[in-house]
Chain A
Amino acid sequence: MSVEVHVPTILRTYTRGAKQVEASGETLGAVIDNVDADHPGLKERLVDGADLRRFINVYVNDEDVRFLDGLSTVVTDGDVVVVLPAVAGG
């Protein structure tokens, strides 16, 4: 049971420069916990309390998880998770 997680440039300091890492879990939240176990600090950048941070976009198989079930989105073997910081401002 493993999924591929694509890490954006600004967060690669947590993954020793790796663009993608393998992780496991039944839900997106579990996958993020699993990644954080290997790369401590990453979860803090993605999650705030029970939700994703407002200016972090996460996609499972190209679907924005905000239109799925957020951190509860179910993932299965071979899924691709992409993390992209929002490009936003005022």
Chain B
Amino acid sequence: MLRIERSVHDQIVAHARRDHPDEACGLVAGAEGGDDPLRFVPMTNAERSPTFFRFDPTEQLKVWRDMDDRGEVPVVIYHSHTSTEAYPSRTDLSLASEPDAHYVIVSTRPSGTGDHAEEFRSFRIVDEEVTEEEVEVVPDVR
């Protein structure tokens, strides 16, 4: 299960909306050995594409080094789907390289009913096997 604070959840959704119709991507860092996503880190999608994302490689090195210095790991890795459901694509599965991360996908596709409640779903991806997990959005404790 992914337990995530309301403000972090909302920042992910806001980033996905802001970059629509391109895919947005980023991570939420947390203490190594823990499972709490605490520090929101939006990343640049180097592909600037509605169907593909890739963390900008130079930015990625800097962010990974920051996490090392702080004793953090990427607890959540998120990206958006802009015209399909919030479920991992074949590409998402084949490129997933963090077996301990929660892979969050937000869909910003227009909903048929006209409301704007984005789908926000979380998955574990290990050896290209996907397992969906429950998401619990909790009030901010900080």
Contacts and interface: CB of A to CB of B under 8 A. Distances in A.
In this complex, the interface size class of chain B, counting residues with CB under 8 Å from chain A, is 20 to 34
B118 to A, nearest CB: 18
B5 interface: no
Interface string B50-67: 011111011011001000
A57 B64 CA distance: 12
Contact of A55 (B90, B95, B99): B95
In this complex, the interface size class of chain A, counting residues with CB under 8 Å from chain B, is 10 to 19
B61 A89 contact: no
Contacts, number: 64
A88 B53 contact: yes
A87 B61 contact: no
B92 interface: yes
A84 B60 contact: yes
B4 interface: no
A87 B89 contact: no
Contacts of B90: 90
Contact of B88 (A57, A86, A89): A89
Contacts of B47: 88
B97 A89 contact: no
A9 B98 contact: yes
Contacts of B92: 89-90
Interface string B12-27: 0000000000000101
B77 A90 contact: no
A70 interface: no
A87 B55 contact: yes
Interface of B: 25, 27, 43, 47, 51-55, 57-58, 60-61, 64, 77, 79, 88-92, 95-100
